[in-house]
Amino acid sequence: GENAKMSKVDAIVREIGQQPVLAFGNSSGDVAMCVYTVTDNPYPALAYIVLADDEAREWGDYESAQAKIAGYSAQGIGTISMRDDFATIYGDGVEKDASAAVQ
């Protein structure tokens, strides 16, 4: 895919030709994009990472997610907790199923 061949930052520069004002990611692979968005931007800009920290409803790792918050914050990246901020993850009638876990 596109992101495997070149960094997301390079793809953003090529596609839109300027710094974005909003970035939203869900993995450590999105951190560079978020940092690029909020660093020295001539416009007000925000970046967020969703933390996979809900061990009950999703395949999250609470301790690992908590360990990353200070680093994200130091880089100007806000965090959104699946555990604390999501009222619903999958919707009505959908439950966590061990057979669906990614290996």
Domain boundaries, the chain: 2-86
Total residues found in the chain within this entry:
103
pLDDT at residue 90, rounded to an integer:
82
Helix residue ranges per DSSP H, the chain? 2-5, 8-16, 31-38, 62-74, 82-85
Of 85, 11, 90, 2, residue with least CA distance to 48: 85
Each residue's pLDDT expressed in tens, for the chain with a length of 103 residues: 555 445 899 999 999 999 999 999 999 899 999 999 999 999 999 999 999 999 999 999 999 999 999 999 999 999 999 999 998 888 888 877 777 665 5
pTM over 0.85: no
Task: Locate 44 and state its tokens.
Answer: 């007000």
